[in-house]
Amino acid sequence: MNLSGNHVAILGVGRSGRAAAALALRLGAKVSAWDRAGPEAFAGMPAGVELHPNATEADGRGLISDLLIVSPGIDTYGPYVAAFSGNSGEVIGEVELAARYYQGRIVGITGTNGKTTTTELVERILSHASLGGTACGNYGTPFAEVVNQADPPAVVSLELSSFQLETIRTLHPVVAVWLNFAPDHMDRYPTVEAYRAAKLRIFENQTAGDTAVVRLGEKLPALAAKVVTFSTTDESADWYSAGHTVGHAGETWIDMDRDTSLRGLHNAENLMAALASCHALGVSSLMMREALHGYAPPPHRCELIRTLDGVEYLNDSKATNLHALESALRSQTRPVVLIAGGKDKGLDYTPVVSLLVEKALAVVTFGQIARNLADLFSKAVPCESVSTLAAAVATARSLAPRGSTILLSPGTSSFDQFTGYEQRGNAFRDLVHQLR
């Protein structure tokens, strides 16, 4: 695809938009950038880009471009994109643009939960094996920024959200990872099927020479690639773990307790997916063990903040959907006082009720969805509703006896009160450290 002399319009000026603009400029395109936000949002946009702050749908209808690159944060099927795409030759995302100019191999990773941990694990292993493995995409550096480097890595560990997969055309992972699937983003997708269809696009350009790493039992269509399975419940899978060691082909490849700081069945699944992916690229078991020695999971994923008066405080702010909340609850071995809540994404939390009976002593809800969650969860356990995270921490502390765990696992996004799950998790950490 020759961009020299073409007009490339960037819709959305976040980090991925800036990376796409820089790559398009290097490829000789004339680049314009458009966003609803004011001029301050355009800080950091490369020199030479024509800037259009406060852009409206009317502005979009007047735009003529050869290529429109849409930010994953903007609804691909909404009226705003429709206005800008009417006179555009093609509509893609930043990840697809980068893929068209990347000469190395891609390990593509998707799933409702666990993507970031798996992406980090793949990066760590491939880096130790001198294959590069830079983590990028939905996590870490924008893919276009990696491709724009003077010496791009031989392999990338590419986390792919459903929003990014909506706009791919040619992106071709030699290894495509499907971790799991559960309803999410129902504030953006009209149906669960539409969300699932977006994620399934990770496989559409694979061939028989590629590998699909899939959790055993996932209901997927027939795939062109070789399918490699992992499981924590069925020993017939290609990779199996009961939560302590990981076995493959009759051998123990990793002892999680000895070699890593990963704990719980959900992390065993992430680890197996990473091992299977790197094995498909020829990395040895010895190299993997060396790479993973001492590995600790990223912050905000069942992160132990402190133990105070015999109560553990766990930060699972990354749990932005129902499936992640369920996984966190199932992994607990102590009685739980759950802190949940945030933005109302239109999810049905009924499946959590029976799990609360089994795992929770009480629930404290907060944020936009607090009242609705409290009404539902109070059918299972005592429940209190508050406005803020600070009030939720104080209330949870009053309800948690010695030997229990206070678990922040919100089960939804943070955008009602925070800029993202990281800010929410950091706020929780600060609040817990302030307790005396």
Positions annotated as catalytic residues are 115, 138, 185
CA 79 – CA 303 distance, rounded (Å) = 40
CA 85 – CA 417 distance, rounded (Å) = 32
The residues pairing with 50 across neighbouring beta strands, listed in sequence order, are 32
3-state secondary structure of 89: coil
3-state secondary structure of 128: helix
Find all residues with CB under 8 Å of 348, minimum gap 6, and list them. Answer: 183, 322
Residue pair 409/339 in contact by the 8 Å Cβ criterion: yes
Residue pair 243/232 in contact by the 8 Å Cβ criterion: yes
Select from 126, 110, 106 the least CA-distant residue to 275. 126
